[in-house]
Amino acid sequence: MHLVVVFGPPAVGKMTVGHEICARTGYKLFHNHMTIEPFLGIFEFGSPSFLRLSGELRRRVVQEAVAADLPGLVFTFVWGLELEEDRDFVQRFVDVVEEGGGKVSFVELAAPLPTRLDRNNTEFRLAEKKSKRDRTFNDDNLRAMEEYVMNTRPGVRTVGEDLLDRHPHLRVDNTDRSAADVADEVAAWLGA
């Protein structure tokens, strides 16, 4: 199986681009909120119970995708590249896939905050992510996330790059590009 991890800051277009990649490759989309939304009505976001359940569900889906010999899975994720725990979280998925004989590629999406604030309330995003429908909270949360390093930068080395350096990695600035255009580039890069 081919695991394609699409990462970048919130509202950069990970799910939308992932959807388009899947349309071109036949891979399945496993966007981050598929394991967030089910638990929010029960546990507070970020609580130990929430994190355990969400993390376990993500790991199990990847394990089952490998066991089912799916051709590919596109997983979207907001990755704090400076955080060892985030690197270790992603590494666990990489290990599952590689131990099953599969391969992993990383697609990084980048766009500035004003672009992401515009994308933060798109119809597709709000339809797929119920927790994002409080627009004021959602925009404030997007701004608060800026304290993390969610994109690679020249001259700024992060622990996440230790993992990125060992796998194919494509960085795309999608500020002024459609999801379809970016997906065409990614699919070509993947050889699909």
Q: How confident is the model at residue 138 (pLDDT cuts 50, 70, 90)?
A: confident
What are residue 29's DSSP bridge partners?
74
Across 129-137, average pLDDT = 60
Beta strand segments in the chain, E: 2-7, 28-30, 72-77, 103-110, 169-173
pTM of the model: 0.90
Which residues are 7's β-sheet partners? 77, 108
Looking at residues 54-59, what average pLDDT do you find? 91
C-alpha to C-alpha distance for 65 and 59, rounded to whole angstroms:
10
Q: Please give the class, per CATH, of domain 2-190.
A: alpha beta
Residues 144, 126: Cα–Cα separation, whole Å = 19
Q: What integer pLDDT is reported at residue 111 of this predicted model?
A: 97
Supply φ then ψ for residue 29, to 5 degrees: -95, 130
Whether 89 and 55 have beta carbons less than 8 Å apart is answered as yes
